[in-house]
Structure 1
Amino acid sequence: MRCFALRVDHLPNGDLDTHSLERFLDAAIGPNQWLLTTEWLFADPPDQEEHGPTVPVLVPEEVATRLVLTDLEGPLQRVISDHSVVGVEGRRWRWAAFAARQNDRGVGVFPWETDDA
């Protein structure tokens, strides 16, 4: 898995424009292929003064390259940095996945995984 720090825009009321980010992620890597969280589980967020507001987004390894290539060719330049997720970080992302998609089994299921797994 890879985690990307992605730039987001502010709405006029000051909230983050997560709808714009969702549209970008769906177009860049496909629907149900990413997990967005407001919690930085493994590192501090990028410097907001330098990069603006960012959020962490987790994607499967096999789509990570496609996201970076898509972003670098486009005008938005949303990808600030990326990070390989291993060990305890992966387990913490599983916790975030469970918080985002609770289920009766009590385990984290990423959006690209089936609930039957």
Structure 2
Amino acid sequence: MFGSIFYNFWAALLSFAVYFIAAIQNPYAMPLPTITTAFVVAVIAFSLMFLIRYFLGYVFYTPEAPVLIQTEEELSGAVANETDKTQTVPQRDHTAMEVDDENTGEIAQVVRTMLQSDEAISR
């Protein structure tokens, strides 16, 4: 359902106020029947708001995409079928940690050379 029950209360309050203001314009309006009818209109609006909220929830509903879970065997079988159809060069599987471990020495060397060039420029 769209929104919360507060939408129902706002609809009831708004319908009560609109009906009451419209009914009180009559110079021969009696207070008790006017207020009673306004409460009945508010209860009807409160109830109808459930249907409106349900309809809006139905209209704005967006289902999530299904998540496909493949086992390693299915995945390797799919990769094998794919490599049979196209010629690809397999890449080494690296985790993020392995890549970081391999590149840390290179990164440290680059930083050292940058610091040395900065010291040479500042002298």
Bigger share in helix? 2
TM-score, with normalisation over the residues of structure 1? 0.19
Q: For CA contacts below 8 A with separation 6 or more, give which structure has more relative contact order.
A: 1
TM-score, with normalisation over the residues of structure 2? 0.19
